[in-house]
Structure 1
Amino acid sequence: MPRLLIRSGKSPLTVLSHEQSLAASQLGVFGSNSGNILFYSAVDRVLSVPGTELVPNSYVTERPAVNRDYVARINEEFDGFVLPMANSYRDTFLAHLERQAWVIENLKIPVTVIGIGAQLPYGTDFDTLPDEYVRVVTRFTRAVLDRSASIGVRGEYTAKMLRHMGFGDEHVRVIGCPSMFGNGQLGPLVKKVDRLEASSRLAINYTPKVKGVSKLVMANTGKYANSVVVPQQHSRLALMLWGENPARVPDKNMPIHTDHPLYREDRMRFFVDQRTWVEFMAEQDFCFGTRIHGNVAGVLAGTPSVVLAHDSRTAEMSEYHGIPWRLYSDLPPDVDAATLYEEADFDEFGKRQPETFARFVSFLEENDLPHVFQPGNENPEYDRALAKAKFPGPVHTLMADGEVGREQVMSRLRWLRQGHAGDSMRPEYAFERPFLDEKPSPTGAGLVKQIAVLEKEVTRLRKEMHKLQTAPAAARTTLTKVPRRLQPVARRVVRAVQERLR
Structure 2
Amino acid sequence: MSRILMRSAMSQLENPSAIDVVMNNLIGDNTGNMIFANSVMRTLMLEDTIIDTMATNHRFSKEEIANINENYDYFIIPLANAFRKSFQKELRHLTHLISGLQIPCIVIGVGVQTTVTDDLKHSFDFDEDVKNFMTAVLEKSSMVGVRGPITGAYLKNLGFVEEKDYTVIGCPSMYMFGDSLPEMKQTELTPDSFVSLNRKIELKPDLHHFLMKCTKQLPNYTFVPQGIDDLRLLYLGKPISRERFPKIPESYPEKLDHDMLVQNKAIGFVNVPTWLDFLRSVDFSFGSRIHGNIVSVLAGTPCYIFVSDARIKELAEYHNIPHMLAKDIKADTNIFDLYEKADYSLIQKGHKERFDHYIKFLELNKLPHIYQNHDQRVVFDEKMNQLTVPKPILPFSAIPLEEQMERLMTYHEYVDEKHEEIKRLNKQYSNLSKRYDSLVNESEIQLAKRLMKKGLKRFQF
Q: Do they fold alike, i.e. is TM over 0.5?
A: yes
> Matches of 1:310 and 1:275 in 2, distance apart?
27
> Partner letter of residue 134 of structure 2?
T
The corresponding residue for 2:122 is: 128
- Give 1:48 shift: 0.3
Within a 5 Å distance, the mapping from 1:38-57 to structure 2 comes to 38-57=35-54
Question: Given that residues 115 and 154 in structure 1 are in contact (C-alpha distance below 8 angstroms), is that contact kept between their aligned partners in structure 2?
Answer: yes
| Count of matched residue pairs | 413
The corresponding residue for 2:439 is: none
- Give 1:359 shift: 0.8
Equivalent of 2:223 in 206, 229, 235: 229
Question: Given that residues 194 and 220 in structure 2 are in contact (C-alpha distance below 8 angstroms), is that contact kept between their aligned partners in structure 1?
Answer: yes
> Matches of 2:274 and 2:74 in 1, distance apart?
30
The corresponding residue for 2:361 is: 363
Aligned to 2:312, what secondary structure does the other structure show? helix
Question: Given that residues 219 and 334 in structure 1 are in contact (C-alpha distance below 8 angstroms), is that contact kept between their aligned partners in structure 2?
Answer: no
The corresponding residue for 1:180 is: 174
- Residues 380-408 of structure 1, C-alpha deviation per residue, up to 9 Å, x if partnerless? 4432221231111211001225xxx4564
> Matches of 1:160 and 1:30 in 2, distance apart?
29
Question: Given that residues 19 and 411 in structure 2 are in contact (C-alpha distance below 8 angstroms), is that contact kept between their aligned partners in structure 1?
Answer: no
> Matches of 1:418 and 1:107 in 2, distance apart?
39
> Matches of 1:380 and 1:127 in 2, distance apart?
43
The corresponding residue for 2:264 is: 266
The corresponding residue for 1:29 is: 26
Change in 2 beyond 3 A, CA 1:307/1:178: same
- Residues 447-500 of structure 1, C-alpha deviation per residue, up to 9 Å, x if partnerless? xxxxxxxxxxxxxxxxxxxxxxxxxxxxxxxxxxxxxxxxxxxxxxxxxxxxxx
> Matches of 1:381 and 1:103 in 2, distance apart?
29
- Residues 51-75 of structure 1, C-alpha deviation per residue, up to 9 Å, x if partnerless? 1100111x1x3x2352222111111
Question: Given that residues 370 and 378 in structure 2 are in contact (C-alpha distance below 8 angstroms), is that contact kept between their aligned partners in structure 1?
Answer: no
The corresponding residue for 2:64 is: 70
Aligned to 1:351, what secondary structure does the other structure show? coil
- Give 1:336 shift: 3.9
- Give 1:222 shift: 2.9
- Give 1:2 shift: 2.0
- Residues 336-359 of structure 1, C-alpha deviation per residue, up to 9 Å, x if partnerless? 432321221212111121111111
Which runs of no fewer than 5 residues in structure 2 stay unpaired?
421-461
Aligned to 1:121, what secondary structure does the other structure show? coil
Q: Which has the higher contact order (CA 8 A, sep 6+)?
A: 2
> Matches of 1:47 and 1:380 in 2, distance apart?
10
Question: Given that residues 188 and 349 in structure 1 are in contact (C-alpha distance below 8 angstroms), is that contact kept between their aligned partners in structure 2?
Answer: no
- Give 1:77 shift: 1.1
1:242 aligns with 2:236: yes
Within a 5 Å distance, the mapping from 1:385-464 to structure 2 comes to 385-401=383-399, 405=400, 408-418=403-413, 422=416
> Partner letter of residue 32 of structure 2?
G
- Give 1:187 shift: 2.8
The corresponding residue for 2:105 is: 111
Question: Given that residues 263 and 398 in structure 2 are in contact (C-alpha distance below 8 angstroms), is that contact kept between their aligned partners in structure 1?
Answer: yes
Question: Given that residues 35 and 293 in structure 1 are in contact (C-alpha distance below 8 angstroms), is that contact kept between their aligned partners in structure 2?
Answer: yes
> Matches of 2:119 and 2:412 in 1, distance apart?
54
The corresponding residue for 1:201 is: 194
Equivalent of 1:251 in 249, 252, 258: 249
- Give 1:422 shift: 4.5
The corresponding residue for 1:210 is: 203
> Matches of 2:262 and 2:271 in 1, distance apart?
24
- Give 1:376 shift: 6.6
- Give 1:283 shift: 0.7
Aligned to 1:270, what secondary structure does the other structure show? coil
> Matches of 1:370 and 1:82 in 2, distance apart?
12
Aligned to 2:126, what secondary structure does the other structure show? helix
- Give 1:335 shift: 4.7
Bigger drift between 42-51 and 240-249 goes to: 240-249
Question: Given that residues 295 and 305 in structure 1 are in contact (C-alpha distance below 8 angstroms), is that contact kept between their aligned partners in structure 2?
Answer: yes
Within a 5 Å distance, the mapping from 1:305-316 to structure 2 comes to 305-316=303-314
- Residues 179-236 of structure 1, C-alpha deviation per residue, up to 9 Å, x if partnerless? 1112212336535212x21110111111211112331342222332320111111000
The corresponding residue for 1:348 is: 346
Aligned to 1:416, what secondary structure does the other structure show? helix
The corresponding residue for 1:445 is: none
- Give 1:327 shift: 0.3
> Matches of 2:401 and 2:338 in 1, distance apart?
36
Aligned to 1:21, what secondary structure does the other structure show? helix
The corresponding residue for 1:155 is: 148
Which runs of no fewer than 5 residues in structure 1 stay unpaired?
427-502
Identity of aligned residues (%): 33
TM-score by length of 1: 0.78
The corresponding residue for 2:77 is: 83
Question: Given that residues 186 and 300 in structure 1 are in contact (C-alpha distance below 8 angstroms), is that contact kept between their aligned partners in structure 2?
Answer: no
Question: Given that residues 371 and 377 in structure 1 are in contact (C-alpha distance below 8 angstroms), is that contact kept between their aligned partners in structure 2?
Answer: no
